[in-house]
Amino acid sequence: MRRFEGYGVLITGAARGIGEATARRLTAEGARVLVADVDAESAAKTAGTLEGAESFRCDVRERAEAEAAVAYAVERFGSLDVLVNNAYACDPDASLFEDESDEVWAENLDTTLTGAFRCARAALPHLAASGRGAIVNIGSVNAEQSFGNHAYSAAKAGLASLTRTLAGHAAARGVRVNQINPGTVRTSAWSGREASLDAVSRVYPLGRVGEPEDIASAVAFLASADAAWITGTTLRVDGGLTAVNTAFSQAEREVRAQASTPAPAPARE
């Protein structure tokens, strides 16, 4: 199935992880994809493995670079039909909230939220001109529940709000805007922490953490004509994490198991 034949696509943060998997999925379905990333060397390496892909060095914290990436995609592909805002920054929390720094907060929001704003602002006229334009923002379950990372979580929650307001604005111009909220996904961000991934997988109702391809499949759906009547929505792709309280259910099962266990016979002397 080649749903994206003739499409021009720009993906930020596409050198690895979810962005790379999305580039692979969309090129496999016929798209020409601009692999944009602040890591130019890795972006070029990824693009070099994909038919119909090119790379572009882009730091979404810089307006000029976001606009240059959009302009390059339009020039090379003849149109821009899909924008995937995937670039993000996520720094560990300080031990105490009062020790959180302005610099970490600002960088996380600037990359994750304002970077998506910059790219969408530059891309919107071209997406409208294509007649089939779509924006897919990569959010996080952190936007909905507490999983740590104050600044990153706030940025992803802001991105969900931007998704809704931009969807309302862009609808009249024929552009759809949606968001995907992944749960834990096995990417290079977890390198060296495989034991943590194994532990985390036990709280997922579907019994595993996500793979980048799980998210890429959802992006392909929302970006395609199959989702032609969907805009302003946030799609959870999280293995059931935010729908099912696994820890509560497990505790309840343990209580029931204990209640059904016969009491031991009294000791006899």
| 248 pLDDT higher than 60 | yes
pLDDT at position 268 is 59
Q: Looking at 7, 72, 88, 156, which residue is catalytic?
A: 156
pLDDT at position 129 is 98
Q: Residues 260-268: what's their mean pLDDT? A: 63
55, 47 Cβ separation under 8 angstroms: yes
pTM of the model: 0.92
Pairing of strands 82-85, 134-138: parallel
**Domain segments of the chain as ranges:** 8-259
C-alpha span between 106 and 157 (Å, rounded): 15
**Sheet of 234-237, strands arranged across:** 53-57, 32-37, 8-12, 82-85, 134-138, 176-182, 234-237
The pLDDT-based confidence of 153 (bands split at 50, 70, 90) is very high
Give the closest residue to 221 by CA, choosing from 116, 84, 119.
84
Report the top-level CATH class of 8-259.
alpha beta
| 38 pLDDT higher than 60 | yes
The pLDDT-based confidence of 267 (bands split at 50, 70, 90) is low
| 43 pLDDT higher than 80 | yes
Q: How many CA atoms lie within 13 A of 58 on its CB side?
A: 35
112, 152 Cβ separation under 8 angstroms: yes
pLDDT at position 193 is 86
pLDDT tens-digit series, residues 165-212: 999 999 999 999 999 999 999 998 888 888 889 999 999 999 999 999
- Percentages helix, strand, coil for the chain (3-state, rounded to 5) are 50, 15, 35
Does the annotation count 156 as an active-site position?
Answer: yes
| 12 pLDDT higher than 90 | yes
Does the annotation count 45 as an active-site position?
Answer: no
* Mean pLDDT of all residues belonging to the chain: 94
Q: Looking at 7, 72, 88, 152, which residue is catalytic?
A: 152
| 136 pLDDT higher than 90 | yes
For 146, the 3-state DSSP assignment is: coil
pLDDT at position 213 is 98
The pLDDT-based confidence of 256 (bands split at 50, 70, 90) is confident
Q: Which helix or strand (DSSP H or E) is residue 138 part of?
A: strand 134-138
Complete DSSP assignment for 183-228: --B-SGGGTT-HHHHHHHHTTSTTSS-B-HHHHHHHHHHHHSGGGT
| 148 pLDDT higher than 80 | yes
| 264 pLDDT higher than 80 | no
pLDDT at position 233 is 98
Q: Residues 111-121: what's their mean pLDDT? A: 98
| 11 pLDDT higher than 70 | yes
For 40, the 3-state DSSP assignment is: helix
pLDDT tens-digit series, residues 200-244: 999 999 999 999 999 999 999 999 999 999 999 999 999 999 999
C-alpha span between 80 and 169 (Å, rounded): 19
